[in-house]
Chains A and B, each alone.
Chain A
Amino acid sequence: MAETKETSEKDEKPKPRVRPIVRLGIFLISHSVLVSVVCCTAGVLALFLLPVLAKNTYISENALMPGSASPMLSYQHVSDGNRLVKDLTNLDLKSSETGIESQRVIAQYMLELGAEVSFHKFHAQLNQFHPLHFFSSPDSGVIQENFSCSSYGINTVGIIRAPRGDGKEAIVLVTPYNALKSGLGEAVSVGIAYSVFSLLTQVTWLAKDVIWLVADSRYGEYAAVAAWLRDYQIPKFSSLSTLNSEMCPDINNLYDLKVNSIAGSKYSNSFRRAGTMAAALVLKVGDQSEQYEDTISIYAEASNGQMPNLDLINVVNYLAVHRQGLRVQVEKLWSLLNSSWLKSLGEIFESLGKVAKSLNPEWKFGIPATEYVEGTATLASSLYYQALGVPTGPHGAFRDYQVDAITLEISPKYSLDKFRRNDILLRGGRLIEGVIRSVNNLLEKFHQSFFLYLLTSPSKFVSVGVYMIALALLIAPLPMVAASLYVDANSLDSKTNKSTPSTIADTAERGITIRSWRWLYSAKLVFAVHVWGAIVSLLPYFICQIPDCSSTISFMIWVVLSMISLLTLYSVLASPFSCNNASQEKEWALVKSVTISYVFIGLGLMSVINFATAEIGALLMVPMCLLARPLKFDLRAGSLRSFSRMVCNLVLGLIAFPPAAFFLLKGMLEDFGSVNIGDFWMWVESLWAWNSATYIFIGMVYLPCWVLCVHILLHTC
């Protein structure tokens, strides 16, 4: 409410006078301080209002029709699944040397159902930082290196051909399974998938092929799925795959012989494909949940804050809650749940909502405080994982190929003993069946619902149109302040020039000619600092090549090299501190103006690529940029206002330094005792390993902005 009031206030100011748009712009620019204060507070408030403004989800695509058919999964299928689980666990007890045995068992089960089965061999691909990956399309990311036979992973793939389909589309079901070290949970997830799979071989309604991928997760779940997807989507014409089998003949032989001897006809040695993927579900069964119900957690964040279509989550949520009686949850920042300030904020919003309701019962505004706190915690984690740009599970690999995918993790109420296991198999299986049936109804790919949203609970979301307002308000002052600074600097300059008595005509002339291009000097500085930012973000690639380097030492090397490069750049590009010329007096204003413009461009770009990063970055950068002012002026002025501004500047300058911000956040969320200097390096390493755009943002937008702000603070003229 408060936010809307303020914005309306802002809008009303220029309204009464109906004037050309230029006048409006001039008005806003001349009152830039007030406007920026109002806009920034409104932006922060709008961010906190998001949980209140969240809408209930609804199924947008009518063709999905979730839950309209009664589930067909019977106890027969469940007992089939249970048989597989038992076999797998027995195998585990017997021998766990290679893990090949369990894959063989799964393949055998698939073959018995009449599915097409193939094995997919892949190399565990090391996640490696490659500076140019960010600009290339996904297919060129294949790095082919020599691998030894030991780093093999083997996915088992079963495909059911749809009786009613034309083989052009497919639905993917993924169960990560680590044959070497499998817990009961993984076996149960395979069991659920198997029971669904066995049902799907019999049904007549299937219009899309179903692919069941048992991903070998010994090198991580994501790597296995990503490797399979890469081979699925990008046919390899090189001889790499044949080369592999030549390299490691023993593994292949083992496979072919054993499987062939069992079944025969539908097993194939080559890579099998179905149609384009309509959707993918990754199924996991976790350990016992802390909740008092069977819960199912949904993980949706893919790389760079991409989300699957909201309809997919809606379908799962609807079926789980209304059909299977499962409790659905999404990630939360648990540490926020107990914070008292959030609770009081929630209470304020609640009472505001009550007031609004008493004024007009039509206004349905405000939610209970507890709900608000939960919504905020969910929203915060949603923002955090999107901002990180690292996928939260194997589903992330699908999004790179425009396939909507989510990970479902079922956590049962009790431990998975025999009776409970049947129940979980039945309910989990029916849920999966329902989702597959819904997706099966789909005529086109998911497009109806949102792709850009934030979740505040499994059944509530904030759409792009709403959350963009918060960011837009936050960064709206930037162009205005930049313009006003620019105008100020220029007008002041010409004034000082005119006041000098010598050769009035000449200086006036000169003032005009130089004035319109004077920003070039500042632009040069800003450009140089951005080049430095690019260098800094490339440095880890070279530091990585140093063998046997602990994270702390790497971090230190990085910092030192960055400092050296900054100093050299400063000395090479005519020292910006020198102010021998009188007209350079207002140099800092121009530097600030150019900086702010570039920050605006950077934030605008990032908001399109990854909203969450832009929002978090804006929260730090916007106040820092707007407040920056040479400390010397504030010291000279000596008033309370300038003193407080100086303190603010110093604090912001300290906090906003990327490592400092990281350690502060980590300390706040976890514990200050556990903070280690090397952690930052590890974090950065994970960012670039996942090709996160956040890394580029920090290196090329955030860090240069910080350096420029510090430069302005230390300006000596």
Chain B
Amino acid sequence: MQKMGKQKNKTASFSFWNWVIASIIFRLILIYFPKNLNLASRPEVSTPLTSFRRLAEGYWLKQLSMSPYAGSMYHGSPLLLSLLGPLTVKRIEGQPNHLLYSLVSVIADVVSAILIRATGKNLRLAYLRSLESLDIVKQTKASGEFFKILSPGDAAALIYLWNPFTIVACVGLSTSPIENMAVILCLYGACSRLVPLAAFGWVIATHLSLYPAILIIPVIFLLGCGPDAPPRKLFLQKNDKEEVLNKSKLPLGFSWRPITHFAFWALLWSAYVLVLCGISLKQFGGLWEMFKSTYGFILTVEDLSPNIGVLWYFFAEVFDFFRNFFLIVFHVNILFMIMPLAIRLNHRPCFLAFVYIAIFSMLKSYPSVGDSALYLGLLGWFVNELADIQFSFFLFCGYVGVSLLSPVMHTLWIWRGTGNANFYFATAMVYACLQIILVVEGVSAMLNHDRKLRNLTTSKPQDAKS
């Protein structure tokens, strides 16, 4: 899909909005074949957390004035029930059953794409500004020429919109488009320094799927020192060398003001969300019940039905008395990576966010293709920096191969009965490996890019001499 986005960018008569409209039309066409595609029942699309069927079930339970969490069917937020629940039962005569709900997903996708585009524009401006302040615009002109046409915002938005994973998640009626929108809202708000918006996005994303909580670190960096730039050291070195104290060219130092703002707003929003949840769950056990069956369900990996992650298989095999230990190990695994990455990539908070999202969508307890769609879309922001990423072709083929092989293996196991769980789990492992390679190569390409910039700044005087 990256291919499509990029390709279209190249052509002179490129029109971003045409492609957006085309993607909407494509989604609508697919929505009109719900029975035949049967995407909503695919394990790749709907996990226990994002499944449409479970949402509808939760809504029905609530309508019958029972707790929506009764029977371990629904594990999402009570707010989603109130917002999307009515759409699960509303039908229009002569139209597909869940048209209204699908339309909400489509709108969520488009909004996410627009936000990604706006953020991408911000990032590009920041990139150009930093190049300017380093006086290496000329050196990078060649690459700039290549990427001027290819603005990262457009690329990222189109990659997000046309990624088959996004399309499948949208047409498969899962709630991940909305979760993704919350994450993107948070990043957009942080990038364009709209503190209340960022706080709102962060609170909602955390509320919906817990894992985006760790995005607080990139958000703090974003608010504190602005969007992605080359390492601060570089600017300082340069200023030392030229011995011209040009303060205006220095990037801003870390400022605490927006962060206190953010903390305030985050507190406010979370209190608000909790109050709303509390009201809607008043008769059904209150907030504690909600925490137990949403966050508790995520953290204890209760549902071991197969998905594209690696945890279900492991916890199906593991002995019961080791279970708690391994639960801790697996979740700490995510937390372990937070600090080193934050230290190494603190000058590039958006990229840091991308890496975090990729990591938790690989290690989360119920991953779906919707999560991959998010980080693959965000990858488009860094087309300039990641231009010389290694193994790009291999990764692309790997993603194509795995996403085709995984349903086939699932069919072989469940429907034909000639395969077994190992077949399906093998594809899940390959998928996890691919994601690891993507993250590793992405990070190393980014560091190489920084190195290249440093070389350019330091080698400039020599060029001038010659």
B244 interface residue per 8 A CB criterion: no
Within 8 A of B (CB), among A273-319: 306
Within 8 A of A (CB), among B21-37: 33, 35-37
Interface bits A392-409 vs B (CB < 8 Å: 1, else 0): 000000000010000000
User: How far does the alpha carbon of A597 sit from the alpha carbon of B394 in the complex, in Å?
Assistant: 9
Contacts of A516 in B (CB 8 A): 387-390, 392
CB–CB B404/A527 < 8 A: no
User: How far does the alpha carbon of A137 sit from the alpha carbon of B400 in the complex, in Å?
Assistant: 23
Interface bits B223-266 vs A (CB < 8 Å: 1, else 0): 00000000000000000000000000000000000000000000
Binds B, one of A327-335, A504-512, A648-656, A709-717: A504-512
Within 8 A of B (CB), among A546-590: 574
A609 interface residue per 8 A CB criterion: yes
A140 interface residue per 8 A CB criterion: yes
Secondary structure at chain B's binding surface: helix, strand, loop or mixed?
Answer: helix
B409 interface residue per 8 A CB criterion: yes
A136 interface residue per 8 A CB criterion: yes
User: How far does the alpha carbon of A144 sit from the alpha carbon of B7 in the complex, in Å?
Assistant: 44
Secondary structure at chain A's binding surface: helix, strand, loop or mixed?
Answer: helix
B117 interface residue per 8 A CB criterion: no
Contacts of A452 in B (CB 8 A): 418
- The closest CB in chain B to the CB of A403 belongs to B417
Minimum Cβ distance to chain B for residue A525 (Å): 10
Within 8 A of A (CB), among B348-396: 387-390, 392-393, 396
CB–CB A512/B387 < 8 A: yes
A interface size (C-beta, 8 A): 39
Minimum Cβ distance to chain B for residue A422 (Å): 40
Within 8 A of B (CB), among A420-474: 451-452
B38 interface residue per 8 A CB criterion: yes
Minimum Cβ distance to chain B for residue A520 (Å): 5
- The closest CB in chain B to the CB of A130 belongs to B36
Which of A306, A452, A509, A608 has most B Cβ within 10 Å? A509
Contacts of B404 in A (CB 8 A): 601, 605
Minimum Cβ distance to chain B for residue A608 (Å): 6
B321 interface residue per 8 A CB criterion: no
CB–CB A524/B142 < 8 A: no
Contacts of A507 in B (CB 8 A): 142
User: How far does the alpha carbon of A451 sit from the alpha carbon of B417 in the complex, in Å?
Assistant: 9
CB–CB B33/A520 < 8 A: no
Contacts of A604 in B (CB 8 A): 401, 405
- The closest CB in chain B to the CB of A137 belongs to B38
B interface size (C-beta, 8 A): 38
Contacts of B401 in A (CB 8 A): 601, 604-605
A135 interface residue per 8 A CB criterion: yes
CB–CB A608/B412 < 8 A: yes
User: How far does the alpha carbon of A506 sit from the alpha carbon of B142 in the complex, in Å?
Assistant: 6
Contacts of A416 in B (CB 8 A): none
CB–CB A510/B388 < 8 A: no
A608 and B405 in contact, given A451-B418, A514-B146 (Cβ under 8 angstroms): yes
A140 and B141 in contact, given A451-B418, A517-B392 (Cβ under 8 angstroms): no
Contacts of A519 in B (CB 8 A): 392-393, 396
Minimum Cβ distance to chain B for residue A708 (Å): 15
User: How far does the alpha carbon of A96 sit from the alpha carbon of B38 in the complex, in Å?
Assistant: 46
A690 interface residue per 8 A CB criterion: no
User: How far does the alpha carbon of A135 sit from the alpha carbon of B39 in the complex, in Å?
Assistant: 9
A132 interface residue per 8 A CB criterion: yes
A515 interface residue per 8 A CB criterion: yes
Within 8 A of A (CB), among B1-53: 2-4, 6-7, 11, 33, 35-38
Contacts of A523 in B (CB 8 A): 3, 396
- The closest CB in chain B to the CB of A302 belongs to B416
Set B2, B37, B418: member contacting A135, Cβ < 8 A: B37
- The closest CB in chain B to the CB of A306 belongs to B416
B63 interface residue per 8 A CB criterion: no
User: How far does the alpha carbon of A598 sit from the alpha carbon of B401 in the complex, in Å?
Assistant: 9
Set A132, A506, A521, A597: member contacting B33, Cβ < 8 A: A132
Contacts of B396 in A (CB 8 A): 519, 523
Q: Which residues of A contact B (CB under 8 A)?
A: 132-133, 135-138, 140, 306, 402, 451-452, 486, 505-507, 509-510, 512-517, 519-521, 523-524, 527, 574, 593-594, 597-598, 601, 604-605, 608-609
Q: Which residues of B contact A (CB under 8 A)?
A: 2-4, 6-7, 11, 33, 35-38, 139-143, 145-147, 387-390, 392-393, 396-397, 400-401, 404-405, 408-409, 412, 415-418
Q: List 10 A-B contacts (CB under 8 A).
A: A509-B139, A510-B145, A516-B390, A516-B392, A517-B387, A524-B7, A594-B393, A598-B397, A605-B405, A605-B408
> Apart from A523-B3, A524-B3, what 5 extra A-B contacts exist at CB < 8 Å?
A135-B38, A140-B36, A140-B38, A506-B142, A601-B404
Q: Which 8 A-B pairs have the closest CB atoms?
A: A132-B36, A451-B418, A513-B387, A506-B142, A509-B142, A402-B417, A601-B401, A510-B142
